[in-house]
Amino acid sequence: MTTATTAPTNRLTPGPRALAGGGLNSVRRNPLLVVLALMVLVFQLTTGSFLDPGNLRGIAIDAATLAIVAVPLALLVISGYLDLSVGSTLAVGGLVAGWFAGQQHQSPVVAVLGALAAGAAVGAVNGILCCYLGLSAFIVTLGMLTAVRGLAQQLFPLPLSSFGSGFAWLGGSRIAGIDAPVVIAVLVLVAGALFLALTPAGRHVFAIGVNREAAYLSGINIRRTPFALFVVTGVAAALAGAIKASVLDSVVAGTSGAGFELTVLTAVLLGGVALTGGSGSVFGVLLGVLFLGCLQNGLTLLSVPTFWQQMAQGTALVAGAALAYFGPRLTR
């Protein structure tokens, strides 16, 4: 028996052909999607346990903090700026949250708000120096990376630990069966995508990144939006730090978040965000984050020796970046 199906008549709902075309376009625009799928397939075939729910959960939790920072950082990069201080800001966020929760015995809400305030402060300093005083974002945030780390070590020279069961909720609880950090990351991803696609400020981000002077002449406030993005990036980094502190129930000023800035920037660039500004998408950033998470996890599952892991990671990153660059040109 055959059943006649009625194609949707709503013009806003794409038909199957349109969906297929859209899917193909999506693949063309994000060749990393193909690489990611191939990588997952290879890891599953070689390890047999890559797609196990427990492993996917671990990858998701690891990727969550990366995604939380990568989204606002991507918006900042699209607007033509950069923040290299996120690793140190992450440490400060974790330390402040840990200090409130563990040493001051404050509620988890106070601890997290304290961390967010500290992150906002770092972001605001970056924003004022870069957006309002016109200093180089690269230099300013590189300086802040060191200065904030030094401040963190000065204020908290010893490890903080034992933050209590209340604070452990942030990193260890589940919401509808999904780990809280993953839920937070999904919210950040959705918010970032909606902001870029649906709000005037989101369009301004692209406009400022493409040509700052032209954006100014078009009446766009070219300082306020990037400044806000610096603050949001600082807040996101501090939130990620609080989550990590909660997951580990400890935080060390000297090592927490060390090198994180490069990992998150790698995810952003792998996701197709142009370092020169003006282009990029949240979906691409998600792919970049998942690519890094899956690669790290898969190599560990395969028990690849340390130095080979480093070589494989470097090679995969270059290959992924090359595909992201050449892929769209080859499929035109």
Partner 1 sequence: MTRTPYPSPATRRQFLALSGGVLAATGLAAAGCSAPDDGASTADPAGASAGSRTLTRIGLDYPFTQLPLYSTLVKLSTAAAKKHDVSLLTTSDASNPDTQATNLATWVTQKIPAIVSFPMVFEATEATAKRALDAGLIWVTYGGSLEHQSADIQFSFLEGGTLLGEAAAKWANEELGGKGKIAFLTDSTIQLGRERTKGMIDAFTKNAPGVDVVAREQAIDPDTGLSKSRAVLAKHPDLNLILGVTDAAAYGGFKALQQTGRKATDAKTFVGGQDGAAPSLLAVKKGTFYRASAALAPKDIANAVVDVPLAVAAGKANPSVQVPITLVGRGDTARIDDLLAQNS
Residues at the contact surface with partner 1, assessed by CB under 8 A = 47, 49, 52, 54-55, 58, 61-62, 132-135, 153, 157-159, 161-162, 172, 213, 216-217, 222-223, 244, 247-250, 252-256, 258, 296-297, 300-301, 303, 305-307, 309
CB of 54 to partner 1, least distance (A): 5
Whichever of 143 and 328 has its CB closer to partner 1, that residue is 143
Decide whether 245 or 324 has the Cβ nearer to partner 1.
245
Three-state DSSP state, 160: strand
- Taking the complex as a whole, the smallest distance from the CB of residue 132 to partner 1 amounts, in Å, to 7
Distance CA 63, CA 65 (A): 6
Of 246, 242, 243, 209, whose CA–CA distance to 225 is shortest? Answer: 209
Alpha carbon 105 to its chain's center? 30
CB 37 to partner 1: min, Å: 20
Summarize the chain as % helix, strand, coil (round to 5): 75, 0, 25
Token pair, residue 309, equals 């892991």
Phi, psi of 219 (to 5 degrees): 90, 10
Q: How far is the CB of 222 from partner 1 (least distance, A)?
A: 8
Tokens 């992924």 belong to residue? 320
Nearer to partner 1, 91 or 273 (CB): 91
Shortest gap between Cβ of 199 and partner 1 (angstroms)?
23
Beta-carbon-side half-sphere exposure of residue 175 (alpha carbons within 13 Å): 11
Task: Please give the Cα distance from 320 to 270 (Å, whole number).
Answer: 7
For the bound state, the minimum distance from the C-beta of residue 25 to partner 1, rounded and expressed in Å, comes to: 34
Asked whether 116 and 72 are in contact (CB, 8 A), the reply is: no
CB 75 within 8 A of CB 225: no
Closer residue to partner 1 in complex, CB, 107/250: 250
The CB-of-254 to partner 1 minimum distance in angstroms stands at 3
**Helices 165-172 and 180-198 sit at what angle, rounded to 10 degrees?**
50
Cα–Cα dist 102/25, whole Å: 50
